[in-house]
Amino acid sequence: MGLKKLYLENGYLNFDWVFSKNYPYIFMVGAKSIGKTYGCLLYALKHNLRFIYLRRTQTQLDSIDSEEDSPFVKLNLETDFNIQPKKKKNHVLYYNANYDIETHTNELIGEPIGYGLALSTFHNVSSIGFSNIDILIYDEFIPMLHERKIKDESDIFFRLIDNITRNRELEGKKPMQVICMANPNRLDNALFLTLGLTDIARKNKDELYYNNELGCMLIQPMNSPISKLKEETSLFKLTKGTNFYNMAINNNFNVRDELIKSLNLKQYTIYCTIEDIAIYKHKSDNIYYCTKFKKGTCKYNYTISKKDIKVFKSTHRNVMLAYLKNKLFFESYECLSIFEDYVNI
């Protein structure tokens, strides 16, 4: 099914093939160091595409806004390109540059060919004209477990795209190419939850998933030749069997699959609701089941206000205890993520 075309002969990802599929939205979740960022940036440069390089937070963008830490450092060393950043307040400009051997400095050439932006601070630079952008490269769109969530994160991302693209499609122009890339840190990331991709990503074993209705493609490179080679390096011999190994080599999300089950509601009665999820209790056992399907009425119904959640947690310690003892099951990973988000776990 074309999976071999996903990889180049050297084992890294083949972005010419990826973009030839003509999906305006591409989500690529892959193991570490298989050529995601490098290959995508190189593709943009080779095809003269004006780009936005997007990170989640301003702190992340600030950490790569210098010549020494730019995402183009390795690419500059290994190719004929010399792309250099120019730091501005809340954003970065990227230029072609000439290196002056005598002064050991880079001379920026012409107009910027791209921009570095942060999702969390985009509203501060939204007045900049981005009408000529060809591709949006959202790098590390999935946060690590210790990173804080951004309130209304997916809405901010969609507004950013709308602000950049304006009415270009109504004017007969091609959609802007959007590619979101990350390691498989969290299945409950904002974009997957909003677009209904959490359980698809969890169950997908075919590396490729297409959704023509949404106009998106999900790529999960599980057979990377580079990952196979890295298995024999010292770090991954040391960490084999750990969550880090499963993420970095096997491209596996760290998920609690044992809690995801499809149960027969005939054995359960509805116990309470929290916003858009319902929790059922088994008729003869101390087992609970969480689903988005609501059948019947119940005494306890809660919103997601701080007051209601506080009342829920104090009144229904039995449910919280069931969760801690793995006796609260979920219809889908999405339901698990919603429940944990609502009760602030």
- pLDDT(2) > 70: no
The whole-angstrom separation of Cα 237 and Cα 200 is 30
For 211, phi and psi rounded to 5 degrees?
-130, 100
Same domain, 230 and 201: yes
pLDDT band at 301 (very low <50, low <70, confident <90, very high): very high
pLDDT digits (tens, 9 = 90+) for 162-191: 999 988 899 998 999 999 999 998 888 999
Q: Residue 241 is encoded by which pair of tokens? A: 């069997």
Same domain, 178 and 125: yes
**Of 195, 225, 248, the domain-final residue:** 248
pLDDT digits (tens, 9 = 90+) for 124-158: 887 677 888 999 999 999 998 788 888 899 999 99
Whether the Cβ atoms of residue 302 and residue 275 lie closer than 8 Å to each other: yes
What lies within 8 Å, CB to CB, of 280 at 6+ separation is: 265, 268, 269, 270, 271, 288, 289, 290, 291
Q: Count structural domains, the chain.
A: 2
Q: Is 295 part of a structural domain of the chain?
A: yes
- pLDDT(287) > 80: yes
Q: Is 253 part of a structural domain of the chain?
A: no
Angle of helix 306-315 versus helix 317-324 axis, rounded to 10: 80
Lowest mean pLDDT among 4-18, 243-257, 286-300, 304-318: 243-257
Same domain, 204 and 150: yes
Q: What is the mean pLDDT of the segment spanning 62-83?
A: 94
Question: Which is it for the CA torsion 118, 165, 212, 22, positive or negative?
Answer: negative
pLDDT digits (tens, 9 = 90+) for 13-34: 999 999 999 999 999 998 888 9
**Of 199, 224, 248, the domain-final residue:** 248
Q: Is 41 helix (H, G, I), strand (E, B) or coil?
A: helix
Q: Is 222 part of a structural domain of the chain?
A: yes
Lowest mean pLDDT among 46-60, 211-225, 241-255, 329-343: 241-255
| 33 phi-psi bin (left φ>0, alpha ψ -120 to 50, beta other) | left
Give the mean pLDDT of the chain.
91
> What residue numbers bound the domain in which 200 lies?
3-248
**Domain CATH for 208:** 3.40.50
Same domain, 222 and 329: no
Q: What is the mean pLDDT of the segment spanning 249-260?
A: 81
Note the pLDDT of residue 100.
87
Q: What is the mean pLDDT of the segment spanning 62-89?
A: 94
- pLDDT(200) > 80: yes
Same domain, 210 and 306: no
Same domain, 244 and 144: yes
Q: Is 48 part of a structural domain of the chain?
A: yes
Note the pLDDT of residue 4.
60
